[in-house]
Structure 1
Amino acid sequence: MNKSELIEQIAKRSGLTLVSSRNALDALLSTVSEALASGDRVQLVGFGTFKVTERKEREGRNPQTGAVINIPATKTPSFSAGAELKKSVNK
Protein backbone atom coordinates (compact mmCIF):
# COMPACT_ATOMS: atom_id res chain seq x y z
CA MET A 1 0.00 0.00 0.00
CA ASN A 2 1.39 3.41 -0.92
CA LYS A 3 0.61 6.78 0.65
CA SER A 4 -2.28 7.57 -1.72
CA GLU A 5 -3.93 4.23 -1.02
CA LEU A 6 -3.46 4.76 2.72
CA ILE A 7 -5.12 8.19 2.47
CA GLU A 8 -8.06 6.64 0.60
CA GLN A 9 -8.48 4.00 3.34
CA ILE A 10 -8.32 6.64 6.08
CA ALA A 11 -10.99 8.68 4.27
CA LYS A 12 -13.21 5.63 3.76
CA ARG A 13 -12.97 4.43 7.37
CA SER A 14 -13.17 7.83 9.07
CA GLY A 15 -15.68 9.62 6.87
CA LEU A 16 -13.20 12.45 6.26
CA THR A 17 -12.57 13.94 2.84
CA LEU A 18 -9.42 12.95 0.94
CA VAL A 19 -7.92 16.38 1.62
CA SER A 20 -8.66 16.13 5.36
CA SER A 21 -7.28 12.60 5.45
CA ARG A 22 -4.09 13.70 3.69
CA ASN A 23 -3.70 16.60 6.13
CA ALA A 24 -4.24 14.31 9.12
CA LEU A 25 -1.68 11.77 7.86
CA ASP A 26 0.85 14.49 7.04
CA ALA A 27 0.36 16.00 10.52
CA LEU A 28 0.91 12.60 12.15
CA LEU A 29 4.05 11.88 10.16
CA SER A 30 5.58 15.30 10.74
CA THR A 31 4.79 15.13 14.47
CA VAL A 32 6.46 11.72 14.79
CA SER A 33 9.47 12.94 12.77
CA GLU A 34 9.87 16.06 14.90
CA ALA A 35 9.56 14.06 18.12
CA LEU A 36 12.25 11.61 16.98
CA ALA A 37 14.51 14.44 15.83
CA SER A 38 14.33 15.97 19.31
CA GLY A 39 15.23 12.64 20.92
CA ASP A 40 11.76 11.70 22.15
CA ARG A 41 10.12 8.36 21.59
CA VAL A 42 6.57 7.96 20.32
CA GLN A 43 4.55 5.12 21.80
CA LEU A 44 1.19 4.17 20.33
CA VAL A 45 -0.14 1.55 22.73
CA GLY A 46 -1.08 -1.62 20.87
CA PHE A 47 0.54 -0.45 17.62
CA GLY A 48 4.17 0.08 18.54
CA THR A 49 6.97 2.41 19.53
CA PHE A 50 9.10 4.67 17.36
CA LYS A 51 12.48 5.64 18.81
CA VAL A 52 15.99 6.67 17.84
CA THR A 53 18.85 4.24 18.42
CA GLU A 54 22.52 5.09 18.26
CA ARG A 55 25.12 3.07 16.39
CA LYS A 56 28.67 3.28 17.67
CA GLU A 57 31.62 4.15 15.47
CA ARG A 58 33.12 1.00 13.97
CA GLU A 59 35.58 -0.31 11.45
CA GLY A 60 34.47 -1.73 8.13
CA ARG A 61 36.07 -2.87 4.92
CA ASN A 62 35.80 -1.54 1.41
CA PRO A 63 34.52 -4.61 -0.48
CA GLN A 64 36.38 -3.67 -3.68
CA THR A 65 39.81 -3.03 -2.18
CA GLY A 66 39.65 -4.70 1.21
CA ALA A 67 40.95 -1.51 2.82
CA VAL A 68 39.88 -0.83 6.39
CA ILE A 69 37.57 2.19 6.65
CA ASN A 70 36.13 4.04 9.61
CA ILE A 71 32.32 4.06 9.77
CA PRO A 72 31.20 7.04 11.90
CA ALA A 73 28.63 6.83 14.69
CA THR A 74 25.06 7.50 13.53
CA LYS A 75 21.55 7.76 14.86
CA THR A 76 18.84 5.73 13.17
CA PRO A 77 15.06 5.53 13.62
CA SER A 78 13.64 2.21 14.74
CA PHE A 79 10.20 0.73 15.30
CA SER A 80 9.13 -1.98 17.71
CA ALA A 81 5.74 -3.53 16.98
CA GLY A 82 3.17 -3.65 19.79
CA ALA A 83 1.20 -6.68 20.90
CA GLU A 84 -2.00 -5.80 19.02
CA LEU A 85 -0.11 -5.27 15.75
CA LYS A 86 1.74 -8.56 16.19
CA LYS A 87 -1.57 -10.38 16.83
CA SER A 88 -3.23 -8.92 13.73
CA VAL A 89 -0.27 -9.84 11.53
CA ASN A 90 -0.17 -13.42 12.83
CA LYS A 91 -3.90 -14.22 12.40
Structure 2
Amino acid sequence: MAKPMTKTQLVAALAEEMGTDKKAAGTALDAVAAIITKEVSGGGAVTIPGVGKIYCRERPEREVRNPATGEKFMKEADKVVKMTIAKALKDSVNE
Protein backbone atom coordinates (compact mmCIF):
# COMPACT_ATOMS: atom_id res chain seq x y z
CA MET A 1 0.00 0.00 0.00
CA ALA A 2 1.29 3.45 -0.91
CA LYS A 3 1.95 6.08 1.74
CA PRO A 4 -0.88 8.56 2.27
CA MET A 5 -0.50 11.99 0.69
CA THR A 6 0.67 14.59 3.21
CA LYS A 7 -0.93 18.01 3.59
CA THR A 8 2.10 19.61 1.91
CA GLN A 9 1.79 17.27 -1.07
CA LEU A 10 -1.97 17.86 -1.24
CA VAL A 11 -1.51 21.65 -1.16
CA ALA A 12 1.11 21.44 -3.93
CA ALA A 13 -1.15 19.26 -6.10
CA LEU A 14 -4.13 21.55 -5.43
CA ALA A 15 -2.08 24.63 -6.37
CA GLU A 16 -1.00 22.98 -9.61
CA GLU A 17 -4.57 21.91 -10.44
CA MET A 18 -5.95 25.38 -9.64
CA GLY A 19 -3.12 27.20 -11.43
CA THR A 20 -2.35 29.27 -8.36
CA ASP A 21 0.34 29.51 -5.69
CA LYS A 22 0.70 27.17 -2.72
CA LYS A 23 -0.34 29.85 -0.20
CA ALA A 24 -3.74 30.34 -1.85
CA ALA A 25 -4.23 26.58 -2.20
CA GLY A 26 -3.35 26.06 1.48
CA THR A 27 -5.81 28.75 2.52
CA ALA A 28 -8.53 27.14 0.37
CA LEU A 29 -7.85 23.70 1.84
CA ASP A 30 -7.95 25.07 5.41
CA ALA A 31 -11.22 26.88 4.66
CA VAL A 32 -12.85 23.70 3.29
CA ALA A 33 -11.70 21.72 6.34
CA ALA A 34 -13.07 24.40 8.69
CA ILE A 35 -16.45 24.44 6.92
CA ILE A 36 -16.73 20.64 7.04
CA THR A 37 -15.76 20.58 10.73
CA LYS A 38 -18.28 23.29 11.63
CA GLU A 39 -21.14 21.65 9.72
CA VAL A 40 -20.55 18.07 10.92
CA SER A 41 -19.93 19.04 14.56
CA GLY A 42 -23.24 20.91 14.46
CA GLY A 43 -25.06 17.73 13.47
CA GLY A 44 -25.20 18.35 9.74
CA ALA A 45 -23.65 16.57 6.80
CA VAL A 46 -21.43 17.62 3.90
CA THR A 47 -21.48 16.00 0.45
CA ILE A 48 -18.37 16.39 -1.68
CA PRO A 49 -19.39 15.45 -5.23
CA GLY A 50 -17.35 12.57 -6.58
CA VAL A 51 -15.81 11.84 -3.15
CA GLY A 52 -18.56 11.12 -0.64
CA LYS A 53 -20.71 12.28 2.23
CA ILE A 54 -19.31 13.14 5.70
CA TYR A 55 -21.78 13.05 8.59
CA CYS A 56 -22.10 12.57 12.34
CA ARG A 57 -23.88 9.53 13.78
CA GLU A 58 -24.94 8.90 17.37
CA ARG A 59 -24.01 5.58 18.95
CA PRO A 60 -26.16 4.26 21.79
CA GLU A 61 -24.86 3.19 25.19
CA ARG A 62 -23.32 -0.27 24.85
CA GLU A 63 -21.38 -2.92 26.71
CA VAL A 64 -17.68 -3.09 25.82
CA ARG A 65 -14.75 -5.19 26.99
CA ASN A 66 -11.27 -4.10 28.06
CA PRO A 67 -8.98 -6.32 25.93
CA ALA A 68 -6.17 -6.20 28.49
CA THR A 69 -8.20 -7.38 31.51
CA GLY A 70 -11.31 -8.88 29.95
CA GLU A 71 -13.44 -6.67 32.21
CA LYS A 72 -16.84 -5.70 30.76
CA PHE A 73 -18.36 -2.29 31.37
CA MET A 74 -20.98 0.05 29.90
CA LYS A 75 -19.72 2.77 27.58
CA GLU A 76 -21.77 5.97 27.43
CA ALA A 77 -23.58 7.01 24.27
CA ASP A 78 -21.38 9.09 22.00
CA LYS A 79 -21.11 10.52 18.52
CA VAL A 80 -18.84 9.35 15.72
CA VAL A 81 -17.95 10.88 12.35
CA LYS A 82 -18.67 8.62 9.38
CA MET A 83 -18.05 8.89 5.66
CA THR A 84 -19.94 7.21 2.84
CA ILE A 85 -17.78 6.93 -0.26
CA ALA A 86 -19.31 8.03 -3.57
CA LYS A 87 -19.98 5.34 -6.18
CA ALA A 88 -17.91 7.23 -8.76
CA LEU A 89 -14.83 7.02 -6.52
CA LYS A 90 -15.41 3.34 -5.75
CA ASP A 91 -15.77 2.57 -9.45
CA SER A 92 -12.60 4.52 -10.36
CA VAL A 93 -10.55 2.44 -7.90
CA ASN A 94 -11.72 -0.84 -9.45
CA GLU A 95 -11.03 0.06 -13.09
Q: Same fold judged by TM-score > 0.5?
A: yes
Residue correspondences, number: 91
| Aligned counterpart in structure 2 of residue 38 of structure 1, from 38, 42, 48 | 42
Deviations 1:27-53 (CA, angstroms, capped at 9, x unpaired): 000100000011111112322100011
Deviations 1:15-71 (CA, angstroms, capped at 9, x unpaired): 111000000000000100000011111112322100011111111122233222111
- The residue aligned with 2:75 is 71
Gaps in structure 2 of 5+ consecutive residues:
none
Amino-acid identity (%): 33
Gaps in structure 1 of 5+ consecutive residues:
none
User: Which consecutive aligned stretches of 4+ in structure 1 deviate over 4 angstroms post-superposition?
Assistant: none
Q: CA RMSD in A?
A: 1.1
| Aligned counterpart in structure 2 of residue 85 of structure 1, from 81, 86, 89 | 89
With structure 2 as the length reference, what TM-score do the two structures score? 0.88
With structure 1 as the length reference, what TM-score do the two structures score? 0.91
